[in-house]
């Protein structure tokens, strides 16, 4: 079999690399500031299976517009080029700031980059990505519920029940909610023929 990929997408600092560590035990680099992962990094995790840690796309303090655009283009290029080899996508969003960020972008006439990415993955791969609705430790229960509801509504075009099975509220840093996300992750890979997806990870 040729190379297959499990990809992780999300805005800078959303917690992609931390999610990878929590789900797989792979020691990818984590940073306090946005922009820790700067290239599309592939890690072999099982026979013919590679995990792909992506840089964050979207605004990043200290980065030029040109760098941001180039990064986003390279991520979209990878997904489009490798679509048939991507067995699973996991999108990581900082859920506690979803509405606030959406509102700020709306004022400038843009849609949420998280919604855009989930829609793009859905269209390109023909299935919803799994979503780690991360950093729930940073908001109150009410805040999380409100943001989660709005996010589900947006990614499903107003039919939240169609998307809810793919979205997992988590704090990957604290280990909250990781179990159900990991179960779904492992099952999705098993369904694609990868019954021992972490065989190379120690």
Ligand X SMILES: Nc1nc2c(ncn2[C@@H]2O[C@H](COP(=O)(O)OP(=O)(O)OP(=O)(O)O)[C@@H](O)[C@H]2O)c(=O)[nH]1
Rule CB under 5 A: which residues touch Mg ion?
16-17, 36-37
Q: Which is nearer to ligand X, 53 or 102 (CB)?
A: 53
Interaction partner, residue 32 (ligand X, Mg ion, none; CB < 5-8 Å by kind): ligand X
- Least Å distance, CB 188 to ligand X, is 21
Structure tokens at 180: 């159900």
Interaction partner, residue 6 (ligand X, Mg ion, none; CB < 5-8 Å by kind): none
Q: Which is nearer to ligand X, 177 or 197 (CB)?
A: 177
Residue sitting closest to Mg ion (CB): 37
Can you tell me the distance from the alpha carbon of 147 to that of 79, in angstroms, rounded to the nearest whole number?
A: 27
- Least Å distance, CB 183 to ligand X, is 18
Tell me which residues touch ligand X (CB under 6 A).
10, 12-18, 30-32, 34-37, 55-56, 134-135, 137-138, 171-173
Q: Which is nearer to ligand X, 115 or 136 (CB)?
A: 136
Interaction partner, residue 134 (Mg ion, ligand X, none; CB < 5-8 Å by kind): ligand X
Where do runs of H (alpha helix) occur along the chain? Answer: 16-24, 65-82, 98-107, 113-125, 141-155, 160-163, 178-191
Listed residue (88, 102, 91) closest to 56, CA to CA: 91
| Cα separation values, 148 from 90, 153, 178, 202, Å | 16, 8, 16, 34
Largest CA distance in the chain: 47
Instruction: List b or e across 41-64, with b for residues whose CB sees 16 or more CB atoms inside 10 angstroms.
Output: bebebbeebbbbbbbbbbebeebe
Q: Which is nearer to ligand X, 56 or 197 (CB)?
A: 56
- DSSP one-letter code for 55: P
Q: Which is nearer to ligand X, 5 or 57 (CB)?
A: 57
- Least Å distance, CB 158 to Mg ion, is 32
């Amino acid at each position: 079999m040729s190379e297959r990929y499990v990809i992780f997408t999300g805005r800078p600092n959303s917690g992609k690399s931390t999610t990878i560590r929590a789900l797989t035990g792979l020691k990818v680099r984590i940073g306090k500031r946005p922009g820790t992962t700067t290239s599309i990094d592939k890690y072999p995790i099982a026979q013919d299976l590679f995990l792909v840690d992506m840089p964050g796309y979207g605004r990043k303090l200290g980065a030029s517009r040109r760098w941001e655009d180039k990064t986003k283009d390279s991520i979209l290029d990878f997904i489009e080029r490798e679509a048939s080899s991507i067995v699973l996508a996991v999108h990581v969003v900082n859920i506690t700031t979803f509405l606030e960020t959406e509102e700020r972008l709306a004022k400038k006439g843009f849609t949420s980059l998280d919604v855009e990415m989930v829609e793009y993955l859905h269209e390109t791969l023909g299935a919803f990505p799994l979503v780690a609705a991360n950093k729930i430790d940073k908001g109150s229960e009410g805040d999380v519920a409100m943001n989660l509801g709005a996010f589900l509504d947006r990614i499903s075009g107003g039919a939240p029940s169609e998307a809810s099975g793919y979205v997992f509220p988590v704090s990957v840093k604290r280990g909250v909610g990781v179990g159900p996300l990991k179960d779904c992750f492992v099952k999705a890979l098993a369904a694609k023929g990868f019954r021992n997806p972490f065989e190379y990870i120690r």
